[in-house]
Chains A and B, each alone.
Chain A
Amino acid sequence: MLLKVEHLKTYLRSAGKTVEAVDDVTFHIGEGETFCLVGESGSGKSITALSIMQLLPAGISSHPAGSIYLKQPRGAHDPAGYIDTLTLPERKLRTIRGSRIAMIFQEPMTSLNPVFTIGDQIIEALQLHNPDMGYAEARERTIHALTQVRIPNAARRVDDYPHHLSGGQRQRVMIAMAMACEPDLLIADEPTTALDVTVQKEILNLMQDLQARNHMGILFITHDFGVVCQIGHRLAVMHRGKIVESGTLMEVLKQPKHTYTKQLLASLPQNLKRRQQRQQHRVQTPPVPGEPWDSKSDDAAQALVDLRQLRVYFPVKRGLLHRTVDHIKAVDGVDVQISQGQILALVGESGCGKTTLGRAILRLIEPTAGDIFFSGTNITQIKRSAMRPYRRRMQIIFQDPMSSLNPRLSIATTLTEPMAVHGIGDSQEERLEIARQTLRQVQLEPRYLWRYPHEFSGGQRQRIGIARALVLNPRFIVCDEVTSSLDVSVQAEILQMLLQLRRSRQLTLLFITHDIGVVEYISDETAVMYRGRIVERGATAQICGNPHHEYTQTLLSAVPRIMM
Chain B
Amino acid sequence: MSNAGTAAIPQPRIPSYVHQVLRETFARWGARFGLVWIGVLLVAAVFAPFIATSHPLLLSSDGHISSPALASLTATDVTLLVLFLTGATLVLVRMSARSKLMIFVITLVLTSILSHLMISPPQLTIYEQYREQEAQGRYQWVIHAPIPYSPQDYLRDKGDTGLEPPLGNPARRHWFGTEENGADVLSRMIHASRIALGIGFVATGIGMFIGVIIGGLMGFFSGNVDIFGMRLVEIFEAIPTLFLLLTFVAFFGRSLYIMMVIIGITGWTGYARYIRAEFLRLREQDFVQAATACGLPLYSILFRHMLPNGIAPILVAASFGVASAILAEATLSFLGLGLVGEPSWGQMLNQAVQSSSFNWWMAAFPGGAIFLTVFAYNLIGEALRDSIDPYLKK
A-contact 0/1 string along B297-324, CB 8 Å cutoff: 1001000110011000000000000000
Q: What is the chain B residue whose CB lies nearest that of A365?
A: B289
Q: Is B40 interfacial (CB 8 A cutoff)? A: no
Given the known A-B contacts A421-B296, A449-B6, are A396 and B17 also in contact in the complex, defined by CB atoms under 8 Å?
no
**Contact assessment for B293 and A395 in the assembled complex, using a CB-CB cutoff below 8 Å:** yes
Q: Is B292 interfacial (CB 8 A cutoff)? A: yes
**Contact assessment for B300 and A417 in the assembled complex, using a CB-CB cutoff below 8 Å:** yes
Q: Which of A440-481 contact B (CB under 8 A)?
A: 447, 449-452, 454-455, 465, 468, 472
Q: Which of B8-16, B116-124, B191-199, B272-280 contacts A (4 or more CB under 8 A)?
A: B8-16
**Contact assessment for A452 and B290 in the assembled complex, using a CB-CB cutoff below 8 Å:** no
Chain B interface bracket (under 10, 10 to 19, 20 to 34, 35 or more): 20 to 34
**Contact assessment for B293 and A403 in the assembled complex, using a CB-CB cutoff below 8 Å:** no
Q: Is B126 interfacial (CB 8 A cutoff)? A: no
Q: Which of A166-174, A385-393, A490-498 contacts B (4 or more CB under 8 A)?
A: A385-393
Given the known A-B contacts A412-B1, A429-B2, A449-B6, are A454 and B14 also in contact in the complex, defined by CB atoms under 8 Å?
yes
**Contact assessment for B4 and A468 in the assembled complex, using a CB-CB cutoff below 8 Å:** no
Closest 7 CB pairs of A and B: A391-B295, A418-B294, A404-B286, A398-B286, A408-B308, A388-B295, A406-B287
Q: Is B129 interfacial (CB 8 A cutoff)? A: no
Q: A391-B293, A422-B295 are in contact. List 17 more A-B contacts (CB 8 A).
A: A322-B227, A364-B289, A364-B292, A387-B295, A389-B295, A392-B295, A396-B293, A403-B286, A403-B287, A404-B290, A406-B305, A407-B309, A408-B17, A417-B296, A428-B1, A454-B17, A465-B290
A203 vs chain B, min Cβ distance (A): 29
Q: Is A413 interfacial (CB 8 A cutoff)? A: yes
Q: Is A123 interfacial (CB 8 A cutoff)? A: no
A416 vs chain B, min Cβ distance (A): 8
Q: Is B247 interfacial (CB 8 A cutoff)? A: no
CB-defined contacts of A454 to chain B, threshold 8 Å: 14, 17
CB-defined contacts of B287 to chain A, threshold 8 Å: 403-406
Given the known A-B contacts A413-B1, A450-B6, are A421 and B294 also in contact in the complex, defined by CB atoms under 8 Å?
yes
A427 vs chain B, min Cβ distance (A): 9
Q: Is B285 interfacial (CB 8 A cutoff)? A: yes
A-contact 0/1 string along B1-43, CB 8 Å cutoff: 1111110010101101100000000000000000000000000
**22 A–B contacts from the bound complex (CB under 8 Å):** A322-B227, A388-B295, A391-B294, A391-B295, A395-B294, A398-B286, A406-B309, A407-B309, A408-B308, A409-B305, A412-B3, A417-B294, A421-B295, A429-B2, A429-B4, A432-B5, A447-B9, A447-B11, A451-B11, A452-B14, A454-B14, A454-B17
B132 vs chain A, min Cβ distance (A): 62
CB-defined contacts of A399 to chain B, threshold 8 Å: 286
- Residue pairs across A and B with CB atoms within 8 Å: the count is 84
CB-defined contacts of B2 to chain A, threshold 8 Å: 428-429, 432
Complex Cα–Cα for A23 and B362 (A): 70
Chain A interface bracket (under 10, 10 to 19, 20 to 34, 35 or more): 35 or more
Complex Cα–Cα for A144 and B292 (A): 52
Q: What is the chain B residue whose CB lies nearest that of A472?
A: B294
Q: Is A400 interfacial (CB 8 A cutoff)? A: yes
Q: Is A304 interfacial (CB 8 A cutoff)? A: no
Q: What is the chain B residue whose CB lies nearest that of A406?
A: B287
Complex Cα–Cα for A452 and B289 (A): 19
Complex Cα–Cα for A450 and B300 (A): 20
CB-defined contacts of A404 to chain B, threshold 8 Å: 286-287, 290
Q: Which of B11, B285, B289, B296 contacts A418 (CB 8 A)?
A: B296
Q: Is A359 interfacial (CB 8 A cutoff)? A: yes
CB-defined contacts of B9 to chain A, threshold 8 Å: 447
CB-defined contacts of B6 to chain A, threshold 8 Å: 447, 449-450
**Contact assessment for A455 and B14 in the assembled complex, using a CB-CB cutoff below 8 Å:** yes
Complex Cα–Cα for A408 and B9 (A): 22
Q: What is the chain B residue whose CB lies nearest that of A392?
A: B295
B302 vs chain A, min Cβ distance (A): 13
Complex Cα–Cα for A398 and B289 (A): 9
Q: Is A362 interfacial (CB 8 A cutoff)? A: yes
Q: Which of B3, B290, B292, B304 contacts A398 (CB 8 A)?
A: B290
B285 vs chain A, min Cβ distance (A): 5
Complex Cα–Cα for A429 and B297 (A): 22
Q: Which of A322-379 contact B (CB under 8 A)?
A: 322, 359, 362, 364
Q: Which of A405, A421, A465 contacts B297 (CB 8 A)?
A: A421
A154 vs chain B, min Cβ distance (A): 36
CB-defined contacts of B4 to chain A, threshold 8 Å: 429
CB-defined contacts of B289 to chain A, threshold 8 Å: 359, 364, 396, 398
Complex Cα–Cα for A385 and B49 (A): 55
Complex Cα–Cα for A364 and B6 (A): 36
CB-defined contacts of B300 to chain A, threshold 8 Å: 417, 421
Complex Cα–Cα for A409 and B16 (A): 10
B24 vs chain A, min Cβ distance (A): 13
Complex Cα–Cα for A452 and B16 (A): 8
CB-defined contacts of A388 to chain B, threshold 8 Å: 295
Q: What is the chain A residue whose CB lies nearest that of B300?
A: A417
Complex Cα–Cα for A151 and B286 (A): 36
Complex Cα–Cα for A412 and B9 (A): 15
Complex Cα–Cα for A408 and B288 (A): 12
Complex Cα–Cα for A404 and B5 (A): 28
CB-defined contacts of B294 to chain A, threshold 8 Å: 391, 395, 417-418, 421, 468, 472
Complex Cα–Cα for A394 and B285 (A): 19
Complex Cα–Cα for A417 and B296 (A): 8
Given the known A-B contacts A396-B290, A421-B294, A447-B11, are A403 and B285 also in contact in the complex, defined by CB atoms under 8 Å?
yes
Complex Cα–Cα for A413 and B291 (A): 12
Q: Which of A428, A432, A447, A468 contacts B290 (CB 8 A)?
A: A468
CB-defined contacts of B13 to chain A, threshold 8 Å: 451
A282 vs chain B, min Cβ distance (A): 33
CB-defined contacts of A468 to chain B, threshold 8 Å: 290, 294
A452 vs chain B, min Cβ distance (A): 7
Complex Cα–Cα for A19 and B300 (A): 41
CB-defined contacts of A421 to chain B, threshold 8 Å: 294-297, 300
B44 vs chain A, min Cβ distance (A): 35
CB-defined contacts of B17 to chain A, threshold 8 Å: 407-408, 454
Q: Which of A322, A362, A447 contacts B293 (CB 8 A)?
A: A362
CB-defined contacts of B296 to chain A, threshold 8 Å: 417-418, 421
B162 vs chain A, min Cβ distance (A): 57
CB-defined contacts of B293 to chain A, threshold 8 Å: 362, 364, 391, 394-396
Complex Cα–Cα for A398 and B287 (A): 9
B28 vs chain A, min Cβ distance (A): 18
Most buried by A among B14, B289, B300: B289
CB-defined contacts of B11 to chain A, threshold 8 Å: 447, 450-451
CB-defined contacts of B292 to chain A, threshold 8 Å: 364
CB-defined contacts of A394 to chain B, threshold 8 Å: 293
B225 vs chain A, min Cβ distance (A): 14
CB-defined contacts of A472 to chain B, threshold 8 Å: 294
Complex Cα–Cα for A408 and B309 (A): 7
Complex Cα–Cα for A167 and B308 (A): 35
Q: Which of B182-241 contact A (CB under 8 A)?
A: 227
Q: What is the chain A residue whose CB lies nearest that of B291?
A: A406
A-contact 0/1 string along B261-276, CB 8 Å cutoff: 0000000000000000
Q: What is the chain B residue whose CB lies nearest that of A449?
A: B6
CB-defined contacts of A391 to chain B, threshold 8 Å: 293-295
A460 vs chain B, min Cβ distance (A): 14
**Contact assessment for A450 and B3 in the assembled complex, using a CB-CB cutoff below 8 Å:** yes
A313 vs chain B, min Cβ distance (A): 15
Most buried by A among B11, B16, B295, B304: B295
A481 vs chain B, min Cβ distance (A): 11
A468 vs chain B, min Cβ distance (A): 7
Q: Which of A170-188 contact B (CB under 8 A)?
A: none
Complex Cα–Cα for A399 and B287 (A): 11
CB-defined contacts of B295 to chain A, threshold 8 Å: 387-389, 391-392, 418, 421-422
Q: Which of A271-310 contact B (CB under 8 A)?
A: none
Complex Cα–Cα for A172 and B292 (A): 40
